[in-house]
Structure 1
Amino acid sequence: MSLRPLFVTQVYEASLAAGPGFAPFNAALADACRMLAAEDEAGRRWCREHGYRGYTSYGSLTDLPHRGPEFADLKRLLDKHAQTYAKAMNFDLARRPRLDNLWVNILKPGGGHTGHIHPHAFLSGTVYVEVPDGASALKLEDPRLPMMMARPAVHADAPEAERPFVYLAPKAGTVLMWESWLRHEVPTNAAKSERISISFNYA
């Protein structure tokens, strides 16, 4: 007998850390993220109103690549990764993937982000800037869960592709990208310091 893996969910993973000059670039990104957190009053207000433990520019700033050279450089890098991912997925596109939004996340200890998807985009992802020991992984949910009905649980040592949830533990420089309909969340940050990441959508 044989099994045919159909309708596979492909998650893209790469690392900026392999490139030259990563350490100073990543340090500059971290500084730029913290500068936004200090100066973006509208963003801090959005975080208070929505119970976000830390800072995110998601509800306040939509033009980060125009606000600092670090974000502009990051956009150029992410554009290449998005194009590589789209090609690997065999997408029939009339144009290259276009960055629709880019936002900073600084998650304090004890903070998290509940399960969600990213409407109005087709590729979404996150690049990780600072990931201290104990920081949250990215939790991905099997998109078939709502339709599984009476499906039995799987063994604890089941292959990653058969688990209902998969936890990806990134490092500084890790780029993760997935199709925007894939439900995901950030569990509680158990680290003793901030977890910094930059998320994005391509449309």
Structure 2
Amino acid sequence: MPQIESLFVTRLYRAALSEFDPRIDPEELESSCLVIAEDDEAGQEWCEENGYSGYTSYASLTDLPWRFPIFADLVKVLDQHVAAFVEDLEFDLDGRELKLEDLWINILPEGGMHASHLHPHSVISGTTYVAMPKGASALKLEDPRSARMMAAPVRRKDARRELQPFIYMKPEVGDVLLWESWLRHEVPMNMAEDERISVSFNYRWD
């Protein structure tokens, strides 16, 4: 009998933010995101100048945990989720830790999207979901081998999940998703009438 096994597995971590303390009030987190977006004129200008639909604090604010206590609490929780994922990935960190590199807010209105990208200078990237109205877009993850498949035929539409070229993860409010930063991902167009709100982050090997 032939033996077939899966090699070089891509891991994806999904959990409820509430798995670890301190507890994060989802309504307070959402209101904080909206207040920051309204007050962040530099971020608004950056979004307008760069044709970014909606709002992101990525290019304007680097100190969210200092500005709002709820973001400081959020980092404490994310640290624990990242530590759990690192354990699963069996990284040898040589006595060092993965530490938060940056943390930013994303607010996508109807029609907004995030183009396909990766985070080449980080180890772990992720997002926690603050508002996901009905019809809000999923996270789209791309098979990292796609650029090397060259002459390979396309997969059947009913191919097994681990063989699909793209995976769509539909998170719920309060979920946190983590992946290795080399994994290409995007947020397709938001088809919901209401805003899709999330907080994204990167961790580096310090």
Q: CA RMSD in A?
A: 1.4
AA matched with 1:187:
P
Counterparts of 1:202 and 1:21 in 2: how far apart (Å)?
Answer: 20
Pairs within 5 Å for 1:1-203: 1-17=2-18, 25-93=25-93, 94-203=95-204
How far apart in 2 are the matches of 1:18 and 1:195? Answer: 23
Q: Deviations over 1:114-135 (max 9, x none)?
A: 0001121010000000000000
How many percent identity over aligned positions? Answer: 52
Q: CA offsets, 1:5-46, max 9 Å, x none?
A: 110100111112567896x70100001000111100000011
For structure 1, the residue ranges without an aligned partner over 5 or more in a row are none
Q: In the aligned structure 2, how far is the partner of 1:88 from the partner of 1:68? A: 31
Q: CA–CA distance in 2 between the matches of 1:56 and 1:107?
A: 9
Find the aligned partners of 2:84 and 2:21 in 1 and give their Cα distance. Answer: 20
Alignment length, in residue pairs?
Answer: 202
* Structure 1 residue 137: Cα displacement: 0.4
Write the letter of the residue equivalent to 1:115: S
SS of the residue 2:43 aligns to: helix
Amino acid at match of 1:129: V
Distance in 2 (alpha carbons) for counterparts of 1:2 and 1:189: 43
For 1:139, what is the secondary structure of its paired residue? strand
Following the alignment from structure 1 to structure 2, what is the Cα–Cα distance between the partners of residues 80 and 35? 27
Counterpart secondary structure, 1:98: strand
Over 3 Å counting, the alpha-carbon distance change for 1:127 and 1:86 in structure 2 is same
Secondary structure, in 3 states, of the residue corresponding to 1:37?
A: helix
- TM value normalised by structure 2: 0.94
The 3 A distance-change label for structure 1 pair 33 and 115 is same
Structure 2 gap segments, 5+ residues each: none
Deviation at 1:96, TM superposition (A): 2.1
Answer whether contact 1:141 1:182 (CA < 8 A) is retained: yes
Three-state SS of the structure 1 residue aligned to 2:60 is: coil
After superposition, the C-alpha distances for 1:37-72 in whole angstroms (9 at most, x for unaligned) are 110000001111111111110000011111111101
| Runs of 4+ displaced beyond 4 Å | 17-22
Look up the equivalent residue of 2:170 and give its one-letter code. A
Opposite residue 67 of structure 1, the aligned amino acid is: R
CA distance in structure 1 between the aligned counterparts of 2:22 and 2:136, rounded to whole angstroms: 25
SS where residue 107 of structure 2 aligns?
strand
CA contact (8 A) 1:13 1:176 kept: yes
Secondary structure, aligned partner of 1:70? helix
Conserved? CA contact 1:139–1:187, under 8 Å: yes
Q: CA deviation at 1:173?
A: 0.6
